[in-house]
Amino acid sequence: MKSTFFSIAALAAIAVAAPAKNNLLALRQAAPQITDADILNYALTLEHLEDKFYREGLANFTESDFAAAGFDSTFYNNLKEVSSDETTHVSFLTAALTKAGAKPVAECTYNFGVTDVKSFIATASILEGVGVSAYLGAAADIMSKAYLTAAGSILTVESRHSAYIRASLMESPAPSPFDVPLSLNEVFTLAAPFIVSCPDSNPTLPVKAFPTVVSSPDNPKNITSGTKITLLTPNYVVVPADGASQIFAAFITVTGPVFTEATKVDGGFSLTVPTAPEGTAPIGGQSYVVLTGCNTTVTDDTVAAGPAVLEIS
């Protein structure tokens, strides 16, 4: 199978590297100015995805299907409320954008890869966690206080969805004292694999997807700090721009990334999950890790691939 080569380097190396076709970071340009309308449309893009996900899942699987999978009628009915919330979020954001004179994005076509109730709930848990991180990460860029408050009110609801679904999977509903903020591009990277196509009439958003990184299916079921894991880079290879610099895995937290060295292995990289420094946010619950050539900061200019989603105990 054809592979694509992406190069990464530390910031100092990037500054002197000549632009090359395989140098992802050297070719990456500064992001355009992002407006509140962009952020609301970005949020609407995610809400459309969640809305369609729940509507499709609840149409495909009956209450009896949920019962057979071990989820009672209370959970089934509560999930219908979650679905209704997402539909309301879509309506609210659409109306807010229209009122502001901006064109709202329309629903896209999706492929969620769900085959049964259990995979539906497992995917729901990840999507809700990503939703929390999306709103948290975008909050700092929202200029309007009214929009910021509205986004905050959606964030808290998404967080309750996440906690409820995690508890239904016998996972801790609040596994960390801090949630993880993600950038627009990091979130879009996680959402993009579900999106098959979007209407041509949709406004173009200032977001892009990084190359995909996924947790190896051979990783231990119970991952903690100190666990050795493998991250896979399907259909492409990440190499340093100079062919020799160290590649790092950066675990994103609200108090800053936590870095660990990544070692090249067949199909990806192996690494040991680090422990966050004392006095900083721990690495726990639904966590996110990116590959980078920089071990001092994580920005859209330093991320080479990812994030991958990991559940850290």
The β-bridge partners of 268 are 232, 265
pLDDT category, 245, cuts 50, 70, 90?
confident
Question: Percentage of the chain with pLDDT > 70?
Answer: 90
Give the pLDDT of residue 234: 93
Residue 252 vs residues 76, 143, 234, 242, 309: alpha-carbon distances, Å = 33, 24, 21, 26, 11
- Quick check: 242 pLDDT over 70? yes
Per DSSP, the three-state class of 66 is: helix
Q: pLDDT (tens digit, 9 = 90+) per residue, 41-57?
A: 999 999 999 999 999 99
DSSP state of 241: T
Q: How far apart are the first and last CA of the chain?
A: 35
Cβ atoms of 238 and 287 within 8 Å: the answer is no
pLDDT tens per residue across span 145-197: 998 999 999 999 999 999 999 999 999 999 999 999 999 999 999 999 999 99
- The pLDDT of residue 32: 56
Q: What is the pLDDT of residues 58-86, one digit of tens each?
A: 999 999 999 999 999 999 999 999 999 99
Burial 69-89 (b: 16+ CB within 10 A, else e): eebeeebbebbeebbebbbeb
Neighbours of 30 (CB within 10 A): 7
**What does pTM read for this prediction?**
0.88
Q: Token match 């989820």: residue?
A: 71
Distance separating alpha carbons of residues 298 and 60, to the nearest angstrom: 40
What pLDDT sits at residue 239? 83
